[in-house]
Structure 1
Amino acid sequence: MISKSNNKSQLINTKIILTIVVIVGVLILLYDYKSAKKDFAGIIPRNESGGPKVNESLEVEFLNQNQEVTLEVSAKGLKEKDIEKAFSDAVKEIDKTYLGKNKSADRVSDNLNLRNTYANGLVEVEWNFDVYGYISAEGILDKEKIPEEGQLVTLTAIMYCQDREQIYSFCVVVVPKGMDTLEGQLNAIEKAVKNQDEKTMEDDNLILPTKVETMDIKWSRKMDYRGLQLIILGFVCVGALSIGKKRDAKKEKEKSIADMDMDYPMIVSELSILMGAGMSFRKALERIVLKYTNNVRAGKTEMRPGFEQMVITYRRMSDGLSEIQAIEELGIKCESKNYRKLSMLLSQNLRKGSKDLIDCLEKEQQNAFELRKQRAIRAGEEASTKLLIPMAGMLFIVIVILVVPAVLQINI
C-alpha cells in the first residue's frame, strides 16, 4: 500500500516538474526567437560613454553563405567639449580625494587615495613619481623607508580620455607617524627593538628595551587560551551528547510507540477471534503469548513491542494478579493511546460481565485496521514530500542551465 502511494506521488511530482520545465523552455525559446529573428533590425545600441564595449554574436548572410561573426562595438564617444570637461572634473576629483585620511599635503603619514579612473570612468590615470620607493601606484606608503625628517615627492597623473592625453602634477611631503598616534608609538617601539637586535646580534639573547622615547615599556608573552578553549569544547561536547541522547531517546520512544501501534490491529484481531470462539480472556491471551514466544524462539519473527506488552500482562496474571488488575496496569504503563483504550474496554467489560465484549472487539478491530491504513497512507505522503526537496533542486538546476545562457545573451 505504501509502495503504491509512493509511486503515485512520485509520478505526479515528475509530471509537475516536466510540465514546468517544458513551459519555461518554450517561453525562453519564444523570447530568443523573437529577439533574434523578429525584433533585430541591424541596430546595436552602444553603451554610454565610459562604459565597456559590447560583444555581439550575429549571423550574417552574403553571397549565398550564412556565417557567424562576433562584433565588438565601442562605447559612445565624447565630443571635444565633453573631453575637456572630463579632464577638468578628473582634476577636481583628484584634488578632493587624493589625501585620503591625511589632513595636509605638507604632512602625509597615511596612505594616499590614488585611483585608476576618475570622472565616472571617463578618464583613466597612470601615476608616476619623481622619487620612487616611498609611495606605490596605489598610494600605499612604505613607512619603513620614510626618513625622520620627511621626504618631498612629486606625483604626476597622466590622464587619458579617448585619444586625448593630459598631465597634472602636485607635491606631497611624506613623514613618519608622529608619537601622538598609536601607530607612531608602535612604529617607535618596533624600530627600537630592531636597533637593539642589530646591536646585540653576537649575544646569546636579545634584551628588549624597557624605555622608548618617553614611554616606559613592560613586556609579557601573549596568553595562550588553549586550556579555556578545551574547557569550553568539553562543555559543548557534553551538551551536544546530552541533547543527542535526549533526541535519540525521544526518537526511540516514538519508534516504539509506532511499532506498538502497528502490532495493535493483529492483537485485537486475535483476541476477537479467540474470544469469539468461546475462550476466556485469560486463555485467549495465553494462546497469543504462547504462539508469539514460540515464533520468536524459532526465529520466525522478531520481537515486537506490542506483543511484548501482552507477554508482560500475561506474566503478571501468572504471578497472581487478577485479570482486571493486569489489564489496568497495561493501560497505566503503556504509552500508546490504543492500548489504553483496549485496557479500558477489556476492564470495563470483564468487570461488568458484559456480553457485548466480542462486538466491541470486532468494532475496535475494524477501527484499528482503518487507522493502520491511514497511517500507511500518511507515511507514503511523508516519503513523497521528502522526495520533493531533491526533485526541486534538480528543477532549479535545469532552470539555471536554461535561463543563465539566455540572460547572458541579453545586452542591458
Structure 2
Amino acid sequence: MQFIFQIVYLIVTVAPVLILLSLAGKKYVEMVNVLDKKEFGMRDLFPIGFQAMDMSGYKYGNNIDRKLRRQIRELYNPDYTEFYLRVYWAGGVTFIFVGFLLSGVLNFFMGTLGLVLGIAFGAFTAYSLFNGLNEKIEQRHMKILIDMPDFTNKILILSGAGMTLRAAIIKISDEMSLDTPLYRTLTACVDKMKNGETDEAAFEIMSVQCNTPQMRRFVSVVLQNMKRGGSDVITALRDIGMEQWAERKATAMRISAEADTKLLFPMMLMLFSVMIVTITPAILSMNI
C-alpha cells in the first residue's frame, strides 16, 4: 500500500512540472537569459514559475506587491520594476514546484522523511529568495551611509569654491568612478540631467534608489536650493554632513561589534580543540 502511495505521489509531483515546462516552451527564454546567473542560480527553471503565474491570472496588486516594488526600485533600474517583480514571483513559485518534485522523489526512497524534507526545501528556498531582497537592501543602505559623508563634504568644498550645487554634483559624478551604490545612482541621476530631464525627475532616482533618511533629506535640501536659491543651503548641508559623520561612526562601531560576535564561536572551537590536544595525552598516559 505504501509503495502504491509513493508511486502516485511521485506522479502527482512530477506531472505538473513537466506540463508547465511543456506549455512554457521557449516563451520565456529571453526573460530568463537576461538574468544574472550568480544572482538567480536556478534561472533556467524559472519558466515553470512564469507559466504558472500567467495561468493563474495574478494581478500583482496587493500590499505584498507594493512592498516588493519599493524594494526592487532600490536594487534595479526603476524602468524594469514590473519585470523584476514578475521574476521574483516566478522564482518563488518555481522553488515551490521544485520542492514538491523533490519531495516526491525523496519520498520514494526515504519515505515520509523525504517527503517532509522536499517540501521544506521548496518553502525555504522560496522564502530565502524574497528575504534576500531585505538583506540586499540592508547592505546597500549601509554602503550608502558610509559614502554619504564624503559625498556631502565634496559638495561643500566645491560649493565653497564658487560652484553651484548642480555643477558640483555633475563634476563629482564625472570625476568619481567608484563602483558603489551611491555613485552608480549618482551617475544615472546626472545622465538624466544631461539628457534634458528636470532636476526633480533626475533626483527622484536618488531618493528612490538610495532610500535612506539621510539621502531623502539631502535631496530635499538640494532641490529647495535649485528652486529658490539662497545661502542657507551651505549651512544646511554642513549640518547634514556632521550628522552623517556621526552616523557613519556609529555604523562602523556596530559592524565592529558584530564582527567580534561572529568571531566568538570560532575562537571557542579553537580553545576547545587546544584543550583536547593538551589534555588527551595526559589522560592516555594515566591510563597506561
TM-score computed with the length of structure 2 as normaliser: 0.53
* Superimposed CA distance per residue, residues 201-220 of structure 1 (whole angstroms, 9 cap, x where no aligned partner): xxxxxxxxxxxxxxxxxxx8
CA distance in 1: counterparts of 2:127 and 2:3, whole angstroms: 36
1:240–1:282 distance in 2 versus 1, CA, 3 Å = same
- Larger % of strand: which? 1
Cα deviation 1:250-303 (Å, max 9, x = unaligned):
2222222222222212211111111111111221111111112xx4xxxxx5x2
Among 223, 232, 242, the alignment partner of 1:366 is: 242
**Structure 1: which amino acid aligns with 2:250?**
Q
Please say if residues 289 and 307 of structure 1, whose CA atoms lie closer than 8 Å, have aligned partners that are also in contact.
yes
Aligned length: 179
The answer to whether the 8 Å contact 1:264/1:368 transfers is yes
Partner amino acid for 1:347? L
Residue in structure 1 matched with residue 133 of structure 2 by the alignment: 249
1:330–1:343: 8 Å Cα contact kept in structure 2? yes
Higher relative helix content? 2
Using the alignment, how far apart are the partners of 1:250 and 1:362 within structure 2?
A: 31
Q: Is the 8 A contact 1:331 1:344 kept in 2?
A: no
1:307 to 183, 208, 216: 183
1:289 aligns with 2:182: no
Distance 1:343 1:241 in 2: 37
Look up the match of 1:338.
214
1:353 is aligned to 2:229? yes
> What does 1:150-169 align with in structure 2 at a 5 Å threshold?
none
Q: Determine what percentage of the aligned residue pairs are the same residue.
A: 24
Separation of aligned partners in 2, 1:245 and 1:221: 34
Distance (whole Å) between structure 2 residues aligned to residue 395 and residue 356 of structure 1:
58
Q: Assess, with a 3 A threshold, how the Cα gap between structure 1 residues 393 and 289 changes in structure 2: closer, same or farther.
A: same
State the TM-score, normalized to the length of structure 1.
0.38
One-letter identity of the residue aligned with 1:277:
A
Counterpart amino acid of residue 267 in structure 2: M
Q: Distance in 1 between matches of 2:267 and 2:2?
A: 56
Tell me: CA distance 1:273–1:243, structure 2 relative to 1, closer, same or farther (3 Å).
Answer: same
Query: How has the CA–CA distance of structure 1 residues 372 and 221 changed in structure 2, closer, same or farther, with 3 Å as cutoff?
Result: closer
Deviation at 1:229, TM superposition (A): 5.3
The answer to whether the Cα contact below 8 Å between 2:207 and 2:215 also exists between their aligned partners in 1 is yes
How many Å apart are 1:315 and its aligned residue? Answer: 2.0
Unmatched 5+ stretches in structure 1: 1-219, 296-300
Q: CA RMSD in A?
A: 3.1
Task: Sort the Cα spacing of 1:244 and 1:328 in 2 relative to 1 into closer, same or farther, 3 A.
Answer: closer
Once the two structures are superposed, what CA deviation does each residue of 1:23-49 show, in whole Å capped at 9, x if it has no partner?
A: xxxxxxxxxxxxxxxxxxxxxxxxxxx
Specify the code of the residue in structure 1 equivalent to 2:233.
L
Cα drift, residue 382 of structure 1: 0.8
Which of residues 264, 270, 287 in structure 2 aligns to 1:388?
264
CA contact (8 A) 1:331 1:340 kept: yes
